[in-house]
């Protein structure tokens, strides 16, 4: 071990020196969030700080983030962000500084031309046309921030395609200043690669000769930001072990499996955690009644409130299924909606069957299909279209079973949250879902799992889940077991720490 890396602790023992980590993400909950990336960026930096590291977070200042309301302070020094070579076409941006609940410092890049508009990636379902320029700029700002940091940054932790160019800017322009800085790149979802027409290449500001080619930033003729992150980072991670394996196969590689395979030695999977300070029924202030494993009656009250809130008959013993998520193909709705319809069609008695509630926003075809299901079964189906953070918590607390039949799922957080709320997840055995939910008759079971992405298998799993629910002596131990699972961030933070050090 390098002795210069040892410092004295107060008690006179020794500890490895803390790392200086810059965590870069296009979403950071609670400031901005469209999905799980926001949750991760809102929690992992704090877990790393708890392990003694110096962590800073950097993210764009979107229009909805109000510096006055959040009491952010304006940094005296602005940041010059070149859009081309080392100092060409500089844009001067302001930086706002705030603190996360844990005390970790967070910096917001105030570049109105890119971020002062309604929406994070787009408005309604239309992506902004200049997303390549917006996130090339953000990536460049991350690198400039790291360069001007008063303490040398050991690790820049980049997330998803929005920050995919950062390692390239650092290596291409600042090999000297940032020579000791390592780049870790986490893929939260390989299906989103930041693919743009090759004509957009100029937006990166990078020299064509080096990167405008298939063994550079082009992939199948298009500009591909994620590929940049994969090729030019020191380490590449994704958010579960199973997904790390899946993306290196042709079937799961979304066209990039060869690129990933070329970096196989640098690719690893680290499972996300849950922030139990936010997602736990004993502390959750969005739910109607708080509860824990000893006060499960509280869950019944949340269920009644949820049924009422969705305009469904309040029935304590009727299994209540819940779905919360982006309404996209990934989330398995093409299987789920017909499976539920088949099951609902088959109900002959008012006391049989189940109720189901949906919270989501996304593609219109799914909105239409869900609204049609609700219209056909108004006493059985509740649908809320939109993004409502509080309702997502209420749905976790009030449902008996959480439906996550995704085609693929890099990690998935909703099933991890569900476990803590004693809401048993019903999942497709893929990615992080396979790594976090266990079905079986042994004492370790926590939910229901179907192996192949087929409607019949999903229907069978629905039958197993709803019939088990009706046998409380079997159900209760499953709930208790689920609630006792520990997916807190500590373990994942330790794994990232090991990776950073390596």
Query: Locate tokens 């409130």: which residue?
Result: 305
Residue 235: which residues within 8 A CB-CB, separation 6 or more?
Answer: 182, 183, 184, 185, 266, 268, 499, 502
Q: Is the distance from CB of 411 to CB of 243 less than 8 angstroms?
A: yes
Does residue number 36 form part of the binding site for ligand ADP (CB under 6 A)?
yes
Residue 95 binding target from ligand ADP, ligand GLC, none, CB below 5 to 8 Å by type? none
Alpha-carbon distance of 247 to 263, in angstroms, equals: 12
Residue 389 binding target from ligand ADP, ligand GLC, none, CB below 5 to 8 Å by type? ligand ADP
188 vs 303 by CB, closer to ligand GLC: 188
Residue 355 forms beta bridges with which residues?
A: 320
202 vs 429 by CB, closer to ligand ADP: 429
First vs last C-alpha separation in the chain? 12
For the segment 347-406, give every residue that binds ligand ADP (CB under 6 A).
359-361, 387-389, 392
Which residue, among 452, 462, 346, has the nearest Cα to 401 in the 3D structure? 462
Residue 142 binding target from ligand ADP, ligand GLC, none, CB below 5 to 8 Å by type? none
Rounded to a whole number of angstroms, the minimum distance from the CB of residue 413 to ligand ADP is 4
Rounded to a whole number of angstroms, the minimum distance from the CB of residue 474 to ligand GLC is 29
Residues of the shown chain interacting with ligand GLC in the complex, contacts defined by CB under 6 A: 35-37, 40, 188-189, 239, 272, 409-413, 432
Alpha-carbon distance of 267 to 236, in angstroms, equals: 5
Residue 344: which residues within 8 A CB-CB, separation 6 or more?
Answer: 353, 373, 376, 377, 380, 381
146 vs 411 by CB, closer to ligand GLC: 411
Residue 388 binding target from ligand ADP, ligand GLC, none, CB below 5 to 8 Å by type? ligand ADP
Does residue number 322 form part of the binding site for ligand ADP (CB under 6 A)?
no
Rounded to a whole number of angstroms, the minimum distance from the CB of residue 493 to ligand ADP is 17
Does residue number 324 form part of the binding site for ligand ADP (CB under 6 A)?
yes
Virtual CA dihedral for 126, 130, 132, 138, nearest 10 degrees?
A: -110
Q: Helix crossing, 364-376 with 333-345: angle to 10°?
A: 10
Backbone torsions φ then ψ of 448, nearest 5 degrees:
-130, 135
**Cβ atoms < 10 Å from Cβ of 27:** 25
Residue 289 binding target from ligand GLC, ligand ADP, none, CB below 5 to 8 Å by type? none
93 vs 271 by CB, closer to ligand GLC: 271
> What's the DSSP call for residue 262?
T
Using CB atoms, what's the residue nearest to ligand ADP?
36
Rounded to a whole number of angstroms, the minimum distance from the CB of residue 407 to ligand GLC is 11
Residues lying near ligand ADP in the complex (CB under 6 A):
35-36, 39, 324-326, 359-361, 387-389, 392, 411-414
């Amino acid at each position: 071990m390098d002795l210069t890396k040892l410092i004295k602790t107060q008690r006179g023992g020794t500890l490895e020196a803390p790392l200086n980590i810059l965590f870069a993400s296009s979403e950071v909950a609670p400031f901005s969030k469209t999905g799980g990336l926001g949750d991760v960026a809102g929690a992992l930096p704090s877990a790393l700080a708890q392990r003694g590291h110096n962590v800073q977070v950097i993210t764009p200042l979107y229009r909805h983030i109000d510096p006055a309301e959040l009491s952010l302070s304006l940094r005296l020094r602005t940041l010059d962000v070149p859009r081309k070579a080392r100092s060409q076409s500089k844009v001067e941006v302001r930086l706002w500084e705030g603190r996360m609940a844990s005390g970790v410092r967070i910096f917001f890049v105030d570049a109105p031309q890119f971020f002062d508009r309604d929406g994070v990636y787009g408005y309604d379902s239309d992506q902004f046309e200049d997303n390549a320029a917006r996130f090339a700029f953000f990536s460049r700002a991350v690198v400039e921030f790291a360069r001007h940091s008063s303490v040398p940054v050991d690790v820049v932790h980049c997330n998803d395609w929005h920050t995919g160019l950062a390692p390239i800017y650092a290596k291409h322009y600042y090999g000297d200043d940032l020579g000791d800085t390592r780049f870790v790149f986490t893929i939260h979802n390989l299906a989103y690669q930041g693919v743009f027409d090759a004509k957009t290449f100029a937006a990166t500001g990078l020299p064509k000769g080096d990167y405008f080619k298939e063994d550079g930033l082009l992939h199948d003729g298009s500009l591909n930001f994620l590929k940049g992150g994969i090729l030019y980072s020191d380490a590449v991670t994704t958010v579960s072990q199973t997904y790390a394996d899946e993306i290196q196969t042709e079937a799961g590689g979304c066209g990039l499996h060869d690129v990933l395979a070329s970096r196989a030695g640098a690719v690893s999977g680290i499972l996300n955690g849950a922030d139990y300070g936010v997602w736990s029924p004993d502390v959750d202030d969005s739910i109607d009644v708080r509860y824990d494993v000893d006060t499960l009656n509280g869950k019944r009250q949340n269920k009644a409130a949820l049924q009422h809130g969705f305009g469904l008959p309040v029935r304590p013993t009727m299994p209540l299924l819940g779905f919360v998520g982006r309404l996209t193909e990934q989330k398995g709705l093409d299987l789920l909606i017909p499976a539920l319809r088949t099951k609902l069609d088959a109900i002959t008695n008012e006391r049989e069957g189940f109720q189901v509630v949906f919270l989501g926003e996304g593609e219109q075809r799914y909105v239409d299909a869900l609204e049609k299901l609700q219209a056909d079964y108004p006493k059985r189906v509740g649908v809320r279209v939109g993004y409502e953070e509080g309702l997502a918590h209420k749905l976790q607390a009030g449902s008996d079973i959480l439906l996550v039949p995704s085609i693929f799922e890099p990690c998935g957080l909703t099933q991890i949250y569900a476990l803590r709320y004693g809401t048993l997840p019903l999942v497709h055995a893929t990615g992080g879902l396979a790594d976090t939910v266990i079905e079986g008759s042994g004492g370790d079971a926590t939910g229901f799992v179907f192996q192949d992405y087929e409607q019949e298998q999903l229907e069978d799993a629905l039958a197993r889940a709803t019939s088990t629910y009706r046998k409380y002596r079997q159900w209760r131990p499953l709930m208790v077991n689920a609630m006792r699972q520990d997916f807190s961030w500590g373990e994942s933070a330790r794994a990232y720490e090991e990776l950073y050090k390596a």
